[in-house]
Amino acid sequence: MLKLVNINKYYNAGTVNEMCLFQDFNLSVEEGQFVSVVGSNGSGKTSMLNIICGSIPVDSGAIYIGNENITHMPEFRRQRRIGRVYQNPAMGTCPHMTILENMALADNKGKPFNLRRGTNKKRVDYYRENLKALGLGLEDKLHVKVGVLSGGQRQAMALLMSTMTPIEFLILDEHTAALDPKTAEIIMELTGKVVKEKKLTTIMVTHNLRYAVEYGDRLLMMHQGQAVIDQAGEKKAAIRIEDLLERFNAISIECGN
């Protein structure tokens, strides 16, 4: 279980530009839950992910995984248990390394990066299988540098790589936003499949309301650092895109837009 307790986060604290992002923000995500998060720009969606992953520090409050307080754990240590896919497909792979080398890197997560051979020859078939499951023909391009692949191919690899080793949480940060609609669809389907297969606790930030409605068993709508909608189970299943749009408009009027 992942828990955020009384999180406070200000940007530019102590200056005229001070901006309150979170004030006593609380969230707890049950094990195995797939949470979709929507919200306007600046509502705190991505900041929430960054706080969970440790990319940005909090001003006060605590973050727990189970009973362990990870508030002050450095980002890279938290990643032991977390897989993260970013909006930018370039963030999840190494462009100057080959597909095979990238797979080997990901496969070694959690193990020591010592002086043993970088690519374990015995694992090559396993990588090929995994790539084949993506259905993008990458299994025949093992020695091609990832930099020449398309955004969609790279994002598929990034997803594969981040979920290759045993992890507890999958963090998806608008991971389909930079892709064309067709590719986005493929990646999203893939995501659903992986999450289901590996039973991962997942938090997905998206601007695509349809994905938010179709995928996941809990839905959050963020606004000014608060969850204005938080529905799970049956109630989540009943939410339609129109409901979300309506709420969006209401918020916009409140803000005077």
Partner 1 sequence: MTLLLGVLEEGLIYAVMALGVYITYKILDFPDLSVDSTFPLGAALTASALLAGVNPALTLFFSFAAGALAGCATGLIHVKLKVRDLLSGIIVMTGLYSLNLRIAGGRANVPVFTQDTIFENPFLADHVPGGLAPYAAVLILLLITAVCKVLLDLYLNTRSGYLLRAVGDNESLVTSLAKDKGTVKIVGLAIANGFSSLAGSVYCQHKGFFEISVGTGTIVIGLASVIIGIQLLCPENGVSFLTRLGLPHVRPTTAVIVGSIVYKACISLAISMGMEANDLKLITSLLFLVILVVSTERRKKVKPHA
Please tell me whether residue 124 binds partner 1 under the rule CB under 8 A: no
Q: How far apart are the first and last CA of the chain?
A: 38
CB 79 to partner 1: min, Å: 4
Q: Is the CA virtual torsion 93, 98, 102, 105 positive or negative?
A: negative
CB 158 to partner 1: min, Å: 9
Please tell me whether residue 175 binds partner 1 under the rule CB under 8 A: no
| 25/135 Cα distance (integer angstroms) | 41
**H, E, C per residue of 40-51:** CCCCCHHHHHHH
CB 191 to partner 1: min, Å: 16
- Interface residue with partner 1, options 76, 181, 182, 197 (CB under 8 A): 76
Applying CB under 8 A, which part among 76-84, 129-137, 210-218, 225-233 lies near partner 1? Answer: 76-84
Copy the structure tokens of residue 169.
């949480």
Applying CB under 8 A, which part among 20-28, 68-76, 204-212, 221-229 lies near partner 1? Answer: 68-76
**Residue 118 or 233 having the CB closest to partner 1:** 118
Please tell me whether residue 211 binds partner 1 under the rule CB under 8 A: no
Residue 208 C-alpha from the chain's centroid? 14
Please tell me whether residue 75 binds partner 1 under the rule CB under 8 A: yes
* Per-residue CA distances from 255 to 20, 116, 248 (Å): 16, 58, 11
**Residue 143 or 256 having the CB closest to partner 1:** 143
Q: Is the CA virtual torsion 81, 83, 86, 88 positive or negative?
A: positive
Considering only residues 91 through 120, tell me which ones interact with partner 1, judged by CB under 8 A: 91-97, 101, 104-106, 108-119
**Residue 108 or 176 having the CB closest to partner 1:** 108
Closest CA relative to residue 104, chosen from 88, 121, 79, 82:
121
| 84/172 Cα distance (integer angstroms) | 6
- Interface residue with partner 1, options 61, 83, 216, 225 (CB under 8 A): 83
Which residues of this chain interact with partner 1, rule CB under 8 A? 74-77, 79-80, 83-84, 86, 90-97, 101, 104-106, 108-119, 145, 147-149, 162
